[in-house]
Chains A and B, each alone.
Chain A
């Protein structure tokens, strides 16, 4: 009798469900690409954006909202994995690869969104490489985030996966060449394991402050603008980081639940301890986010200087009120759900998912309220207030961005196991007649 080892966790196996998922994602992505090509040809006039001031529009619209959102989401994965390495939290080991993948894919999509929003994208890349000025907050986005954080997370992913790659390289499959390349001669000796642990420890210690500084520049993009009521303020950078943590963890929870569902037989690899940790961390991040929002609300209700009065009215009672209050409701609702779970010491997956979706949606609303109202209702000279609503082009492109992220994760799961094997014999043995 011959025993054939096959790749674990559905790697290399194209199930009908997966094919349907990829097909749908590809269709949405193609629609997004076509919408973008239309925009590149006609110019950004096909979006809902217009110049601020005399033209009464918003010049940064849904694309920049998505830039902030996606780059924010990328914070959680890498910081979580660093945290797990430094404090040796074994329970989080199972989702470390998924968390890094979320960071990498979300960051790539976020940076793509920056290019999509530029008036001249190709010239944008070239001129940034040749000329980018350190005084501009975009310097941080282009160097620290686009190169530093992205490469850090890719490197983390690579180094973290070498052991599993070496294990998989022993299995005869079509992907063997790829697994061998990834393993790069990993011998799984005691010395190598020790060296790996040391590398990951030091990398984790240094990554966290680096990532927080890099992503704070995203908040500083808004915070240092004296001329924009509602933006200028020291709170923008910490606000960006805290909302990033909350949205990132929320997305990670939903993604983990989906992966667990998809893996079926291997779903026990992601145990309740994982969700307990994620739920607890999300609770902390959301509590901080709610705290910031309440401080902001109290300040706005107590007193607003002249220029910000129009903005505050627009947020509390005017055209943005429905977004403001529903966003606040969703984040408080999410927090309440998490607190009840923590109090009962029982983390129900269904409740966690509902809380995560609510919190994630609330963060999108918060990002929108950061970017848009200060443009339409935040002029220091007495221009008439303006308005902005995205067009089908913007919606199609944003849908394409989500599809791209999902596609990248889905494709990765077919070439590499998403849950670290860690030496467990997780291959499926198939008995074949001799």
Chain B
């Protein structure tokens, strides 16, 4: 359960980073469109992606798992 959730956090985070990056202003210096993101706040999606990937480590360490109680 913990491992699944951790992987989910990492994948969702990476996904958000990709979506955020490609939705932000494109590389280019030839048109007005190169200065605007696809939607306002697209970079925030990228940032949330970074936070989500990092939170995966917190999830992995903090989430209690039933199988651990049997050890130690």
A contact residues vs B (CB 8 Å cutoff): 128-135, 139, 142-144, 147-148, 151-152, 155, 158-159, 162, 184-185, 189-192, 195-196, 198-199, 202-203
Contact = CB atoms under 8 A, between A and B. Distances in A.
Given A159-B58, A199-B57, A144 B68 contact: no
Contacts of B9: none
A143 B50 contact: yes
A195 B26 CA distance: 41
A130 B36 CA distance: 9
Contacts of A191: 68-69, 71-72
B72 A131 contact: no
B68 A151 contact: no
Contacts of A152: 54
Given A131-B37, A133-B24, A203 B57 contact: yes
A5 to B, nearest CB: 25
Interface string B18-47: 000100111110000011110011011011
A204 to B, nearest CB: 11
B60 A195 contact: yes
Given A143-B47, A189-B71, A184 B62 contact: yes
Contact of A143 (B35, B40, B46, B71): B46
Contacts of B58: 155, 158-159
B interface residue count range (under 10 / 10 to 19 / 20 to 34 / 35 or more): 20 to 34
B14 interface: no
A130 B61 contact: no
Interface in B48-72: 50-51, 54, 57-58, 60-62, 64, 68-69, 71-72
Contacts of B41: 129-130
A155 B68 contact: no
A271 B64 CA distance: 36
Interface of B: 21, 24-28, 34-37, 40-41, 43-44, 46-47, 50-51, 54, 57-58, 60-62, 64, 68-69, 71-72
B43 A132 contact: yes
Given A135-B25, A151-B50, A195 B61 contact: yes
Contact of A189 (B25, B26, B34, B72): B72
B54 A190 contact: no
Given A131-B37, A135-B27, A191-B72, A143 B43 contact: yes
A133 B54 contact: no
Nearest to A185: B64
A148 B27 CA distance: 22
B57 A151 contact: no
A132 B24 CA distance: 7
Given A134-B25, A190-B71, A196-B61, A129 B43 contact: yes
B66 to A, nearest CB: 11
B51 A151 contact: yes
Contacts of B64: 185
Contact of B68 (A148, A159, A189): A189
Contacts of A162: 61
A268 to B, nearest CB: 31
B50 A134 contact: no
A51 B50 CA distance: 36
Contact of A159 (B26, B51, B57, B72): B57
B35 A147 contact: no
Given A151-B51, A152-B54, A135 B28 contact: yes
A148 B49 CA distance: 10
B47 A199 contact: no
